[in-house]
Structure 1
């Protein structure tokens, strides 16, 4: 109650200032991640774009600078599908603390066949969940060095109707791309909440916050050429959908609020206000199946075994 009265109303167009802070956005070169980076850069913070492609990161940074005068931007090469590269990537940040990371990058495959990372993990589960699980391990010392850092995980509305198959996390027995993607995002969401429980139990200053973008379509997203080009036909065709869903610029709002709003707390879930699909960000009840700590603990243990690291508070 008190936090609501002491903090000004949230304005998506005018985020609070955050000079001196450093934020990392995985997949910050395209899609929702690009808009998270663009909006966070308007706070005055240094924003680091994590991207597999240095060239795409440069293009994205040029686009942000054209819209945010004086934006403080950096890029780091980050390939979440290759776990062996994550520790060197974090070391290349060359910062003594990190105030927030937005776990946004993701792979979505539309068609079979099933694909694997170099380490033999199913590509979507291996990138979206295991990659961020392992990355958090290497970021934790930098996050712990900040006064009140946040790990913000970008879930997906698609995960609401899914359940994890703990006996087939890698979809070896039954691979269906849309379901495997949704389950990889569900795994991320379980991880986010379990991470916060472990941080709280350890008395850590780091908070883990869950967000999802609702329904975010390219066709409703404002143009950011050459990062995102929207045709007139796509804009007209998407007009009816705008009653239910939104563009990726608005899909970024919950993550930006989770990073910058002092009233946000660890273990919370933030989503678009209207049916969880569109509108300004609001705090929402955590979905019932995500509160199952038994599933979360078993997933954590399996992820630790698959990656060889534990991202919990370091002792």
Structure 2
């Protein structure tokens, strides 16, 4: 979002000004999304927390305001599992333009039976991917109205080891919670890369960028009451893991850079520097299976049909 060239190395603790910009962060009330919102507010952006839980959103806004003097932050009721509600939610944004949206919200199930959204879609694929896919269409005019709008999709390190099955996108035949979660994040990333290809072909000024937090653990995350509290004992026990992974505050760094760095280009992937698991953000190579055009085309067509969305998503 910053048009200024980088005269110094990127510093996660000295972010460029985002004054005058508005950014929507889905799932900005907790986890990675909370720290993305906090850091963007620190840079001066007006941050909109997209969350279906008003109580958790209020807690997040309280935490941000306690740490960022004059923070401009507000809540947008948003339920990605309810596709019919998304256009109304965007209407409530009440802005003339949107400088960036961070597609961060997601559901992760570790066990239990296969669950479905109210629309009948598998819960993780339906929320993590289909919800964001459908949200793009009503957001398109607002992003196009910005001088250089950005869509930043938050993927996962888990997507490295997964592969999409275009004939079983919703894990109807092969449901294993952790695997289904990884595939839903891979679907998000595939969407992000394909979206940028289509934006470039349409001559759009909007960029689509993908970022991931690496390994981000709650016990290594600094406390942000009332959103999150890490006890000294939890942090001490987690210190050995800190050699390989990091807290969710640091996990937000690649996402924030993807939003703010004027040198970031569409179609790029950003993640932590050390083995893709921890450290300051860097550009990463895009693995072939994450941006396979043939798989992406099938995913796109299926997503459009499942959500009842124009495949052009409002971009011309």
Deviation at 1:311, TM superposition (A): 5.3
Structure-2 residue corresponding to 1:228? 228
1:152 aligns with 2:152: yes
Following superposition, which runs of at least 4 residues in structure 1 exceed 6 angstroms of deviation? none
5 Å-filtered alignment, 1:11-26, equals 11-26=11-26
Contact preservation (8 Å) 1:136, 1:311: no
Structure-1 residue corresponding to 2:171? 171
Deviation at 1:26, TM superposition (A): 0.2
5 Å-filtered alignment, 1:59-98, equals 59-98=59-98
- Residues of 2 paired with 1:228 and 1:287: CA distance? 34
User: CA deviation digits over 1:56-105, x for unaligned, max 9?
Assistant: 11110010000000000111000000001100000000001000000000
Structure-2 residue corresponding to 1:33? 33
TM-score (norm 1): 0.97
**Secondary structure of the corresponding residue to residue 130 of structure 1:** helix
- Residues of 1 paired with 2:63 and 2:141: CA distance? 31
User: CA deviation digits over 1:172-208, x for unaligned, max 9?
Assistant: 1111000000000000000000000000001100000
1:203 aligns with 2:185: no
Contact preservation (8 Å) 2:202, 2:315: no
User: CA deviation digits over 1:7-27, x for unaligned, max 9?
Assistant: 421110111001110000000
1:122 aligns with 2:122: yes
- Residues of 2 paired with 1:6 and 1:211: CA distance? 19
User: CA deviation digits over 1:226-259, x for unaligned, max 9?
Assistant: 1001122211111100000000000000010000
How many aligned residue pairs are there?
Answer: 313
Structure-1 residue corresponding to 2:313? 312
Uncovered stretches (5+) of structure 1, i.e. residues with no partner = none
**Secondary structure of the corresponding residue to residue 280 of structure 1:** strand
Contact preservation (8 Å) 2:108, 2:124: yes
1:110 aligns with 2:110: yes
Contact preservation (8 Å) 2:194, 2:291: no
Q: Superposition RMSD on alpha carbons, in Å?
A: 1.3
Structure-2 residue corresponding to 1:162? 162
- Residues of 2 paired with 1:203 and 1:7: CA distance? 29
Deviation at 1:314, TM superposition (A): 2.8
User: CA deviation digits over 1:246-292, x for unaligned, max 9?
Assistant: 00000000010000000000000000000000000001111121231
Structure-1 residue corresponding to 2:254? 254
**Secondary structure of the corresponding residue to residue 312 of structure 1:** coil
Structure-1 residue corresponding to 2:289? 289
Deviation at 1:5, TM superposition (A): 7.1
Uncovered stretches (5+) of structure 2, i.e. residues with no partner = none
Alignment CA distance shift 1:252-1:6 (3 Å)? closer
- Residues of 2 paired with 1:20 and 1:85: CA distance? 28
Structure-2 residue corresponding to 1:239? 239
Deviates more, 1:253-262 or 1:287-296: 287-296
User: CA deviation digits over 1:121-171, x for unaligned, max 9?
Assistant: 000000000000001111011000000010000000001000001111111
Contact preservation (8 Å) 1:198, 1:313: no
Contact preservation (8 Å) 2:5, 2:263: no
